[in-house]
Homo-oligomer: A and B are copies of this chain.
Amino acid sequence: MNVRECIVSAPGKAILHGEHAVVHGKVALAVSLNLRTYLWLKASAPGKVCINLPNIATFMSWELSDLKLLAPESCGKRDESKLLDAELVRRLREFIGVTNGNLDTHSMATLAFLYIYLSLFGSGDLPSLTVTVWSELPTGAGLGSSAAFSVCLAAGLLSASGAISTPLRDFDNTARWCQEDMELINSWAFQGEKIIHGNPSGVDNAVGTWGGILRFLSGKIIPLSRVPLLRILLTNTKVPRSTKVLVARVKDKINKFPSIMTPVLDSVDAISCTCERILAEMTSQPITGEHYNALEELIDINQHHLNVMGVGHPTLDTLCRVTQARGLHSKLTGAGGGGCGITLLRPETDSSIVQSTIQDLKDCGFDCWETSIGGPGVQQHSPASVKGEILEIFSQY
């Protein structure tokens, strides 16, 4: 079986508002982050399946004959894509030598790839193919890098299998799939996320698939119909933290001071809802400075609330102070306690201010990118639409 070469990409994810509060039944807004993961799928030497993950120095190759032995009996059917095939996962773990406690990125990425590959192709001819993935996202920073990877795998392999179309037409730079195909991509990406994370919320793969902004409430994920693209800085303080520990810390604080903390969660809920309303206005009315003033105020208020919840960190205070000194507004995004923060840029924010701010933040020891939120989800690319530096990486494999 021959596969058609294709390039796909999926965005990362940030939480605009509602992190932590979402655990307690409040609304959160998850947004696509235009630091993207790119996947290049091409035919390989016959009888071989290869995956190249240069970001994490992982280069694996298997014989089709070996993989064939692991394939599940039934596979690739749409209605089966919701539940993980536990038996296949067990066989794959054994095959690549992953013990239960081993959760390193390298093994999890390999496992997710083989799982989706075998699930989609295992009942028929296994195609000889090579998948190369390059990501602009830092891993383990709460930016949905594993979901962007899973979405790319699902989109690339589903296209290769013919289960979904390849939407790119001649002369297109990029193209997106129809609703039905995206649902299938999302569903298989969720499988990948389950393998990597165990019990994911499904938000990260939904953002990677649909892009834009999603409203997340009590497990229900609803994409907002139209959203503006917002310029931001994404800053990684590089302070490692445990989401589990931070979630527990918030819970403890709520238990300790229920009458004080419950209204704070209500206020965060109202921030998400107010932000949603403002974003909707920004697509239905001319965008004004007032819209941005309000978005900035919401960011400041929520950052204080997150500090009240006990998930701040001195580096995040530094981020806020440094950007405030340039007239910019920041908040942590995700779990907090270090990790990443976002800084809103206004349309009129001068490039010199942006560059100075990035330099200030780098001087603090942080990584910092100028990017945007609210952009498209998974898409197929013509090679011409992919940045030269990424094509150059791809050309090495």
Whether B274 pairs with A270 at a CB distance below 8 angstroms is no
* Option from B259, B294, B307 in Cβ contact (under 8 Å) with A270: B259
How far does the alpha carbon of A264 sit from the alpha carbon of B271 in the complex, in Å? 12
A260 shortest CB reach to chain B, Å = 4
> Helix, strand, loop or mixed for chain A's interface?
helix
Whether B263 pairs with A267 at a CB distance below 8 angstroms is yes
Residue of B nearest to A271 (CB): B260
Residues in B whose Cβ lies below 8 Å from that of A386: none
Residues in B whose Cβ lies below 8 Å from that of A301: 257, 260, 308
A332 shortest CB reach to chain B, Å = 13
A212 shortest CB reach to chain B, Å = 23
How far does the alpha carbon of A347 sit from the alpha carbon of B233 in the complex, in Å? 44
- Determine if A94 is an interface residue (Cβ-Cβ < 8 Å): no
Residue of B nearest to A260 (CB): B270
Residues in B whose Cβ lies below 8 Å from that of A261: 267
A21 shortest CB reach to chain B, Å = 11
Copies in the complex: 2
Residues in B whose Cβ lies below 8 Å from that of A294: 256
Whether A263 pairs with B266 at a CB distance below 8 angstroms is yes
Residues in B whose Cβ lies below 8 Å from that of A259: 267, 270, 273-274
Residue of B nearest to A307 (CB): B304
Whether A267 pairs with B274 at a CB distance below 8 angstroms is no
How far does the alpha carbon of A321 sit from the alpha carbon of B321 in the complex, in Å? 11
Residues in B whose Cβ lies below 8 Å from that of A321: 317
Digit string of A296-325 for contact with B (CB within 8 Å is 1, else 0)? 011011001101100000000100010000
Digit string of A58-95 for contact with B (CB within 8 Å is 1, else 0)? 00000000000000000000000000000000000000
Residue of B nearest to A257 (CB): B274
How far does the alpha carbon of A181 sit from the alpha carbon of B259 in the complex, in Å? 39
How far does the alpha carbon of A274 sit from the alpha carbon of B261 in the complex, in Å? 12
How far does the alpha carbon of A273 sit from the alpha carbon of B263 in the complex, in Å? 14
A315 shortest CB reach to chain B, Å = 13
Digit string of A249-291 for contact with B (CB within 8 Å is 1, else 0)? 0000000110111011011001101100000000000000000
A197 shortest CB reach to chain B, Å = 32
Residues in B whose Cβ lies below 8 Å from that of A266: 263
Residue of B nearest to A261 (CB): B267
Whether A274 pairs with B260 at a CB distance below 8 angstroms is yes
A282 shortest CB reach to chain B, Å = 17
Residues in B whose Cβ lies below 8 Å from that of A300: 307-308
Residues in B whose Cβ lies below 8 Å from that of A267: 259-261, 263-264, 267
How far does the alpha carbon of A260 sit from the alpha carbon of B267 in the complex, in Å? 5
Residues in B whose Cβ lies below 8 Å from that of A270: 257, 259-260, 263
Residues in B whose Cβ lies below 8 Å from that of A274: 257, 259-260
A-B contact pairs, 17 of them (CB 8 A): A256-B297, A257-B270, A257-B274, A257-B297, A257-B301, A259-B273, A260-B271, A260-B298, A261-B267, A263-B263, A264-B267, A300-B308, A304-B304, A304-B305, A304-B307, A304-B308, A317-B321
6 additional A-B pairs beyond A256-B294, A260-B274, A260-B298, beta carbons within 8 Å, are A256-B297, A263-B266, A267-B267, A300-B307, A300-B308, A304-B308
